[in-house]
Amino acid sequence: MRLSRASISYIGMFVAIIALTLLFSADSIAQEGKSSLSGQVIDTDGNPVASLSLAVKPVEINMGQEIGPLAPLASWQRGVTDADGRFSISNIDPVSSRLVMFPEHGSRFEIVSVQIGDLIFLYYEVDGIGFPPWLGQLTFAIEPGMSLEDVVVKVKPPDMRIRGRVLLRDRTPLANAQIDLTIRRRRRNHEGFFLFPRSWGASGGRTRFTAWTDAQGYFVTYHLRDTAEYSVGVRYEGVSAESRWVHIEKGERYDKFVLRLNDLEEHRENRNKREKARHAVWTVNPENDHAYRRIQCDSWEAAKVEAEAEGAYLVAINNETEQKWLESLYPEKVFFWIGLRVPEKGASWQWDSGEPLTYANWGAADRPTTTTNSVKEIPIALIFASKKWMAIDSESQLRPAVKYAILEKEHY
């Protein structure tokens, strides 16, 4: 269902307010157990839908604006429906999340509604300037250890589809890659006689999202609206390409887009040279005269060992100024280990450097409680997009996505 700007101001706001009532307390962490979500997927006639992939998409929302996915697409928790349409998704982190098809815009179905207990949340497509596109979708967080059961997800086949292919300069496909897609849409307004129409203006918009290519470089998206002209833009590792405009009728499927990333190999070579130079360089913060460096690492423990070998320690963030400086120095959408771990019960919070914790910048999951003696200390990372702080335990699906750390040294 698509809502106009006028109707979304009432219904959309109602959906948003109701969604807030589902935001469970999330001030604890993995030692209390991961949360889970399970239920059944049915079509609009009530029939179960088998072999359908769903995912819990962690999102970062700040002041009503969605910053983006909190983590890479590959790390989203997923489930597949069985012959009876039943699914189960476990090991969910206690952060703002959204239940989506997987791939989100490339599934053969789209969500119509989600029923939790006696509450039914209708999914709306927002059409209006000034309203975020996610407003008509349920955003929630589940308390650690809680099982949300008997959720009913109603779906329907999308009316329209775009299918395209991403190629490199030598015409080989960009296979099995996570890409950023932009779907542009416009409607031309005409006047004059039907044999001699004259275009005098256009209206439209654009939608950006993450998608996957398959082994042959193909991507699919159903994120379309009514009859209009569409173009597709793709961005991968800093290189982009854009298609021509194509007129697509309502209900039509267009499968002929081809986008070529001609400069990717050259860009990769130049980027690797810059990365090597950057990794070898320490950057001095003029506010405290400390030096900082980004490294690649396999784990928090490995990063700590490398820091000690270089006479440094994992970064200690002592105030908002230092936090903002690090965000500007390392703006990439990646996770970074920092020099902080969840202490054992009875112990105080302190940095790897030995300094006490006097400043905090926790994300949606808030500050975790202390661990028990039976649980290893849980390291803290800067979050993928927002660079807020989050505890990531050994069972978290996000753990393999943390491949960098920030080192700090006082005398350079």
Helix/strand/coil (H/E/C) assignment for every residue in 348-410: CCEECCCCECCCCCECCCCCCCCECCCCCCEEEEECCCCCCEEECCCCCCCHHHCCEEEEEEC
Mean pLDDT of 20-35: 45
The model's confidence at residue 201, banded by pLDDT at 50, 70 and 90, is low
Say what the pLDDT of residue 345 is: 80
Measured distance CA(111)–CA(100) in Å, rounded: 7
Listed residue (51, 185, 151, 176) closest to 108, CA to CA:
51
DSSP 217-258: SEEEE----SSEEEEEEEEETTEEEEPPPEEE-TT-EEEEEE
The answer to whether residues 338 and 382 touch, using CB atoms and an 8 Å cutoff, is: yes
Mean pLDDT of 46-64: 86
The answer to whether residues 326 and 315 touch, using CB atoms and an 8 Å cutoff, is: yes
The answer to whether residues 236 and 179 touch, using CB atoms and an 8 Å cutoff, is: yes
Measured distance CA(32)–CA(371) in Å, rounded: 9
The b/e string for 99-135 (b: 16+ C-beta within 10 A; e otherwise) is bbbbbbbbbebbbbbbbbeeeebbbbebbeeebebeb
The model's confidence at residue 206, banded by pLDDT at 50, 70 and 90, is confident
What's the pTM value of the predicted model, to 2 decimals? 0.65
pLDDT in tens, 111-131: 999 999 888 898 876 554 455
DSSP 178-227: EEEEEEEEEEEEEES-TTS-EEEEEEEEEEEEEEE--TTSEEEE----SS
Say what the pLDDT of residue 82 is: 96
Cα atoms found within 13 Å of the Cα of residue 134, Cβ hemisphere only: 23
pLDDT in tens, 245-264: 999 998 899 999 999 999 88
Say what the pLDDT of residue 135 is: 60
Q: Which of 28-32, 145-149, 206-210 has the lowest mean pLDDT?
A: 28-32
Say what the pLDDT of residue 5 is: 38
pLDDT in tens, 215-242: 999 999 887 878 999 999 999 988 899 9
The answer to whether residues 87 and 155 touch, using CB atoms and an 8 Å cutoff, is: no
Q: Which residue shows structure tokens 């009316």?
A: 159
- Which residues lie below 8 Å from residue 308, measured CB to CB, with a gap of 6+? none
Q: Is the pLDDT of residue 77 over 70?
A: yes
The model's confidence at residue 192, banded by pLDDT at 50, 70 and 90, is low
Say what the pLDDT of residue 374 is: 45
Say what the pLDDT of residue 2 is: 44
Q: Which of 24-33, 150-159, 360-369 has the highest mean pLDDT?
A: 150-159
Please tell me whether residue 308 adopts helix, strand or coil conformation: helix
Cα atoms found within 13 Å of the Cα of residue 112, Cβ hemisphere only: 14
Q: Is the pLDDT of residue 110 over 60?
A: yes
The model's confidence at residue 8, banded by pLDDT at 50, 70 and 90, is very low
- Which residues lie below 8 Å from residue 171, measured CB to CB, with a gap of 6+? 260
Structure-model confidence comparison of residues 384 and 48, the more confident one: 48
Phi, psi dihedrals of residue 83, rounded to the nearest 5°: -60, -25
Q: Is the pLDDT of residue 38 over 90?
A: yes
Phi, psi dihedrals of residue 347, rounded to the nearest 5°: -95, 160
Q: Is the pLDDT of residue 351 over 90?
A: yes
